[in-house]
Amino acid sequence: MRAVHRYPGCTGQRATRTGLCRRPVQERLGASAENRHREPGGRQLGHGCHSHKAQSQIPGLANVKNIVAVASGKGGVGKSTTAANLALALSREGARVGILDADIYGPSQGVMFGIAEGTRPKIKDQKWFVPVQAHGIDVMSMAFLTDDNTPMVWRGPMVSGALLQLVTQTAWNDLDYLVIDMPPGTGDIQLTLAQKVPVAGAVIVTTPQDLALLDAKKGVEMFRKVNIPVLGVVENMAVHICSNCGHAEHLFGEGGGEKLASQYNVELLASLPLSMLIREQADGGKPTAIAEPESQIAMVYQELARHVGARIVLQEAASPAMPTISVSDD
């Protein structure tokens, strides 16, 4: 499986992680309409897809079939942008999708989905948060429960409790996929997710920069230790294409995402450019996957969604039980 990338400014060719791809984009994206919404084995990728979870001992989440964690080892690598576009691309495949902004300290999905500042979720039966609807997606975020300028000065246990409350006390609308936009790092929220939430798999987001790759490796190792499958790697800011002359320049290094994927024997799911368009559309509340759905960048996100759905199906039905940690006086 090769990542697809055609960047604005390229002269009719697409850079890939091993050179230039000459296959037509229709072939790479699955040209036949009858196969577009199918998982491997003919099962449906869109609404009505099968439920999967890695931790067999954790009860499933009501009205949610598959939970995908989008994570990174460090901030500033485009994780939230990737999560938003992945959710929208899955929706375009016909799935019912929600997104949970689990970055308690720095939530951003409200802005990316164009949700007005000060929006508050409705309360159902004095217990359930009703997710905010935007672009056909269920959206839930700590940003909806606080003011934009109010910092969350919380210790780890409070943050973990808030995450569980957002996950379990939101009245999700019969979702095929719930995308969780994780905070950067490998701390309390990540551990709580692994121990309490039935995750189907994780997507690791990085840039080619060595410092980002070092932290991304820690993210991969963490998910492996808690027996959550790593579905693959997304490499952002892989190349910058000059909008004037078309010159390609690897500002943050070259081939880092491929090396990371190869080292851990996972797929390089997608490789995306450093693009002003991606940034402007996310800041404007209408990410690329729906702002320009026929663009080459949006097609990368669309293939990412299909690959994520396929990788979930290909994982074993249940991972081994979570390791038990014991402490003795010896």
**Residue list for the binding site for ATP:** 73-80
**Residue 116: phi, psi to the nearest 5?**
-60, 145
Which residues, listed in sequence order, are joined to residue 140 by a DSSP beta bridge? 100
User: Please, what's the b/e burial string for 202-215 (b: 16 or more CB within 10 A of its CB; e: otherwise)?
Assistant: bbbbbbbbeebbeb
- Write out the binding residues: 73-80
Structure tokens belonging to residue 306:
């299909």
Question: Minimal CA–CA distance to 304: which of 192, 178, 205?
Answer: 205
Q: Which residues of 226-244 are buried (b: 16+ CB within 10 A; e: fewer)?
A: bbbbbbbbbbbbbbbbeee
DSSP per residue, 76-144: SSSHHHHHHHHHHHHHHTT--EEEEE--SSS--HHHHTTPPTT---EEETTTEEEPEEETTEEEEEGGG
CB distance 204 to 71 below 8 Å = yes
